[in-house]
Amino acid sequence: MALLLDNNNNASRWFDVDAVPEAYTFLQEFRPGNFETENNKQNSFPVIDLSKLDHSSEEKEETIKKILKSCQEFGGFQVINHGFTEEVIKETISVLKEFFSQLVEEKVYEAKENGWVYLSSTDYANDGVHLWRENIKLILSHPLEDCMQRWLEKPSRYR
């Protein structure tokens, strides 16, 4: 889901986008994505196969090194072969769409009540380009049951 602004900076919510509005488009030289490295080679965002964590200790160690390197050099990575079913992924997306469809006040309240962080980009006048992001940061711990009472209450399906 994304948050769009009309000409009066009033927020509206939407899920399916046919085209990115110009107010949300960075100039080509400021866009994230592929970039040149010191070696002048083209790099793309790392893709890591998590199924290798179940293999030999050598493959497991190599995968962990790739994860660390990707975080250090790119700030993240894409995961494949993670073991989540298509059904779980679709349900997760559905629940998060429901959460982000709530009013901003509800999301902020939920964050304060449960000790997690809600962030959105709202400094439109100073940003020049509207940043297309809205985030929640939840702290998870082991065992999982110990932190479940702090999970989102709305939507109730989240728990």
DSSP codes joined into one string, 90-121: HHHHHHHHHHHTS-HHHHHHHHHHHT-EEEE-
Instruction: Judge whether 102 and 120 are in contact, CB under 8 Å.
Output: no
Q: State residue 35's pLDDT score.
A: 54
Closest CA to 78 of 67, 88, 94, 91: 67
Whether residue 72 is found in the same domain as residue 146: no
pLDDT tens digit sequence for 48-87: 999 999 888 999 999 999 999 999 988 889 999 999 999 9
Q: State residue 62's pLDDT score.
A: 95
* DSSP strand pairing (11-14 vs 35-36): unpaired
Average pLDDT over residues 8-31: 64
Kindly tell me the burial class for residue 130, based on how many C-beta atoms sit within 10 Å of its own C-beta (0-12, 13-18, 19 or more): buried
Whether residue 124 is found in the same domain as residue 88: yes
First to last CA, the chain: 20
**Dihedral pair phi/psi, residue 39, rounded to 5°:** -85, 5
Question: pLDDT above 90 covers what percent of the chain?
Answer: 24
Whether residue 143 is found in the same domain as residue 95: yes
Whether residue 46 is found in the same domain as residue 111: no
Banded model confidence at residue 116, pLDDT cuts 50, 70, 90: confident
Whether residue 118 is found in the same domain as residue 138: yes
Whether residue 4 is found in the same domain as residue 60: no
Whether residue 46 is found in the same domain as residue 110: no
CA 128 to chain centre: 22
136: left (phi over 0), alpha (psi -120 to 50) or beta: beta
Structural domain boundaries, residue 7? 1-31+84-159
Count of domains observed in the chain: 2
